[in-house]
Amino acid sequence: MEALKKVGRWLAPPPDRAEDGRDTWPSRTAFLLAAMGGCAGMGNLLRYPSQVYNNNGLQWFVPYLMAVFLIAIPALVLEIAIGQAYRGGSVVANNSLNHRLKGAGLSLLYVGFVVGPYFVVNLAWIMNYFRNSFISPLPWTGRGEEFYMRDVVANVDPIIGNLTDNGHAVLNYTRFPGVGMVGETVGWTAFTWFLVWLCIFRGVGLTGRVVYFTMGLPIVVTIILIGRSLSLENACEGVKLMWAQWHGGKLANGEIWQTACGQVFFSTGVGFGYFTSYASYNRKHSNAVVDAIVIVASNVLFENIAAFTVFGVVGFLGLWPQAGVRLGSFTVGFLTIPQAVTEMPGANFWAAALFFTLMVLGFSSAFAMLDAVVTLIMDSGTKCGRALVVTALTVISFLLSLPYCTEFGYYLLEGVDRWTNDVALVFVVFTECVSSTTVYRWHDVVGQVGLPSFVIYNFGYLGGMFIGVAIAHWVNAGAGAAAGLGVYAVCSIISSATGKAPDAKTPKYFAQSTMASRFWWLAFYSGNQLRRDLNGIVGHGNNWEIPTFWAPLLRYISAPVLAIVFSFSYPAFYRLRYEPLHILGFGIGHIALIIIALGFIVPRWFDVLIPPARRGEGHIPYAPGVMIDGDERSKRCSREVESGDSSSMEVPSSPAEK
């Protein structure tokens, strides 16, 4: 019995502990592999080729790389840095930024909790392929699309609805005759959720070992598949489809920008909340900036190299894109990669290896999304053990997967996936960019320039984006840009000309006049102070510091780009409003917006998710320009909770109140 216990402790070791008593990763490598595993999955091997196929040509890389460099990396630096610095998951860390951002933190976890159930159903379809890999000849040989849609997905064809000729009204709603459950999909879904439970029930000690396997095997198999795919006849024509064609006119269509942002967020994991949770188990002074760059760079490299596997087969099969036809998020991947395997010697062996690899790669993303929710509950101070929490959440997630296991589940998945990405995911990342650079330590700004100036400036900042994108859709892009920039410029001038004269130190470039000094406090202080406070922790020693341009990039580049991308959701939905499952998905996506709003308006409703000793961390004392790190804030809050002096948690908004 003792020997069995030793084996159990070796396979599922208890996690290490940091100085503050929090669980920690066994090593930095374990954290990086877990983070990479969270983002490197079916989104790379299956979803990414499908999105590139729908937007074929070099023009795809314009919005794609802009989303990577202007949004994904800065946002990931934020998510990792606050998790590591404030030692908590998404809700706890955002509460430490400001007590009104608890809803913003919860919205990130909501996105992952919505995606997880249908993501696992995709894994169940992969396991269906895995089972059929032992049949010779492979049953999808020569009938890839038919096998996928009829044998694996096994959905009944819907009766497609339509709009009136002028598009102003719905003539008929789409109907779905099939409502039964697909038994095999249910079985494999239950099995996959069991694997998820197995990987996270013990904590990061076990997860840190699992990821070595979940990341190593896929890389080896992918390299082999690339070689075989590129050796097929006419493979070069498929590669040209991705790398050697230019369709510049597509860049005028908002859909390609929306798709690129959604893909980058989906594949890198930005906006799902699990990076903050994972980073909270790092050593406090780990190198967060380098970690963020390595994670995103490895993901971009992996999915673009792995795409050769699919596009070699696209050329071999002659699967050329058709104008006006948009394939589902995973369709091309499910059709082309299995077909590539049928052309290999020992096809059954490689088919089994491929789909086992896809399963391993995929459920590392699945358990990352669920683990973020587990971290939320464990951080809240619950008395339930981790194993019980993981079990309960796994069962709930399985029940949420069941609607996708029906004979209309594929179409439900398409509707929920599209609008979760295009609405919820884009907006929660927009909220991250705006809130971290606007709300953080805003009392310092109000104390220096006055509340009216703060309100006027931010009305111009947010209102300019709203008015600009609205006019761009109603009139044209030029008019929208002029209107948005005009509103922002007018409000900036008014707020900078009428505010109080700041009495705290201002950078020399803005200290030459009172008006310029006010503008600096309004436009740059919050984000710059967050950068300084975080660098006191994550930029410790020889670590890379968060650069000066990081906060302005988030606020004035990332946020406006995301606002523009988000605005394309509504015209796109208007054209699909005859699809009931798209209507459902559109509504599910907007729940994230409601959570964010409620957190800002009634933050006390979310206090149950924060340990009592840490609820006051979001009330930062008035101290313009003074660095305040997480340790000082936690100690202050603990003293206030112990003394019962809740009034001291309220933050003065001016020097006089201080």
User: How does DSSP assign 350-397, residue by residue?
Assistant: HHHHHHHHHHHHHHHHHHHHHHHHHHHHHHTT-SS-HHHHHHHHHHHH
DSSP label at residue 617: G
Spatial distance between the Cα atoms of 29 and 201, rounded to a whole number of angstroms:
21
| Mean per-residue pLDDT, 357-369 | 78
Spatial distance between the Cα atoms of 359 and 214, rounded to a whole number of angstroms:
9
Are the C-beta atoms of 247 and 56 separated by less than 8 Å? yes
Hey, CA dihedral for 108, 113, 118, 120, is it positive or negative?
positive
Average pLDDT taken over every residue of the chain: 84
Percentage of the chain beyond pLDDT 90 is: 42
- Say if 531 falls within a structural domain: no
Are the C-beta atoms of 103 and 596 separated by less than 8 Å? yes
Spatial distance between the Cα atoms of 475 and 453, rounded to a whole number of angstroms:
31
DSSP string covering 569-608: HHHHHHHTTT-HHHHHHHHHHHHHHHHHHHHHH-GGGGGG
Residue 332: domain span = 2-153+187-399+417-437+581-629
| Mean per-residue pLDDT, 359-385 | 82
Q: Which residues of 307-339 are buried (b: 16+ CB within 10 A; e: fewer)?
A: bbbbbbbbbbbebebeeeebbbbbbbbbbbbbb
Number of domains in the chain: 1
Most confident of 3-12, 23-32, 469-478: 469-478
Among 297-301, 314-318, 520-524, 531-535, the minimum mean pLDDT is found in: 314-318
Answer yes or no: is pLDDT of 16 > 70. no
262-289 pLDDT, tens digit each: 788 877 888 888 889 888 888 878 888 9
- Say if 608 falls within a structural domain: yes
pLDDT band (50, 70, 90) for residue 494: very high
| pLDDT of 403 | 96
Answer yes or no: is pLDDT of 385 > 60. yes
Cβ neighbors of 222 (< 8 A, separation 6 or more) are 45, 302, 305, 306, 309, 357
Strand positions, DSSP E, 499-553 = none
Answer yes or no: is pLDDT of 396 > 80. yes
If one counts every other C-beta atom within 10 angstroms of the C-beta of residue 612, the result is 13
**Which residue has better confidence, 201 or 571?**
571
- Say if 110 falls within a structural domain: yes
Cβ neighbors of 58 (< 8 A, separation 6 or more) are 243, 244, 245, 246
Please write down the long-range contacts of 499-507, taking CB distance under 8 Å and 24 or more positions apart. Answer: 499/449, 499/450, 499/452, 499/453, 500/448, 500/449, 500/450, 500/453, 502/448, 502/449, 503/448, 503/655, 504/444, 504/448, 504/624, 504/625, 505/625
How far CA 385 is from CA of 202, 203, 579, in Å, comes to 10, 11, 43
| Mean per-residue pLDDT, 127-145 | 90
Burial class for 385, CB neighbours closer than 10 Å (0-12, 13-18, 19+): exposed
**Which residue has better confidence, 12 or 92?**
92
Spatial distance between the Cα atoms of 503 and 434, rounded to a whole number of angstroms:
26
| pLDDT of 641 | 41
| Mean per-residue pLDDT, 367-379 | 85
| Mean per-residue pLDDT, 34-49 | 72
- Say if 389 falls within a structural domain: yes
| pLDDT of 248 | 82
Are the C-beta atoms of 251 and 62 separated by less than 8 Å? yes
192-223 pLDDT, tens digit each: 999 888 877 765 545 545 555 556 667 777 78
- Say if 221 falls within a structural domain: yes
- Say if 493 falls within a structural domain: no
Beta bridge partners of 17: 23
Among 71-85, 497-511, 622-636, the minimum mean pLDDT is found in: 622-636
Are the C-beta atoms of 461 and 103 separated by less than 8 Å? no
Spatial distance between the Cα atoms of 161 and 31, rounded to a whole number of angstroms:
48
Answer yes or no: is pLDDT of 658 > 70. no
Show the tokens assigned to 288. 């967060």
Instruction: Tell me the residue type at 157.
Output: D
Spatial distance between the Cα atoms of 318 and 166, rounded to a whole number of angstroms:
36
| Mean per-residue pLDDT, 67-80 | 91
| Mean per-residue pLDDT, 235-247 | 83
Spatial distance between the Cα atoms of 14 and 147, rounded to a whole number of angstroms:
44
pLDDT band (50, 70, 90) for residue 14: low
Helix, strand, coil proportions of the chain in percent (round to 5)? 75, 0, 25
Percentage of the chain beyond pLDDT 70 is: 87
Answer yes or no: is pLDDT of 238 > 50. yes
Beta bridge partners of 54: none
Cβ neighbors of 167 (< 8 A, separation 6 or more) are 575
Cβ neighbors of 174 (< 8 A, separation 6 or more) are 158, 159, 160, 161, 578, 579, 580, 581
| Mean per-residue pLDDT, 13-25 | 63
- Say if 484 falls within a structural domain: no
pLDDT band (50, 70, 90) for residue 493: very high
- Say if 424 falls within a structural domain: yes
Domain of 289, CATH number, reads 1.20.1740
**Which residue has better confidence, 7 or 375?**
375
Among 156-165, 301-310, 358-367, 491-500, the minimum mean pLDDT is found in: 358-367
| pLDDT of 464 | 94
If one counts every other C-beta atom within 10 angstroms of the C-beta of residue 505, the result is 10
Nearest to 411 by CA among 337, 301, 329: 329
pLDDT band (50, 70, 90) for residue 254: confident
pLDDT band (50, 70, 90) for residue 311: confident
How many residues are listed for the chain in this entry? 658
Spatial distance between the Cα atoms of 200 and 374, rounded to a whole number of angstroms:
9
Task: Kindly give the residue spans of alpha helices, DSSP state H, lying in 87-203.
Answer: 90-97, 102-132, 144-146, 183-200
pTM, whole model, 2 decimals?
0.86
Spatial distance between the Cα atoms of 636 and 84, rounded to a whole number of angstroms:
19
| pLDDT of 441 | 94
Report the 3 state secondary structure along 456-497: HHHHHHHHHHHHHHHHHHHCCHHHHHHHHHHHHHHHHHHHHH
pLDDT band (50, 70, 90) for residue 330: low
Cβ neighbors of 462 (< 8 A, separation 6 or more) are 434
| Mean per-residue pLDDT, 358-365 | 77
**Which residue has better confidence, 35 or 599?**
599
Spatial distance between the Cα atoms of 360 and 33, rounded to a whole number of angstroms:
13
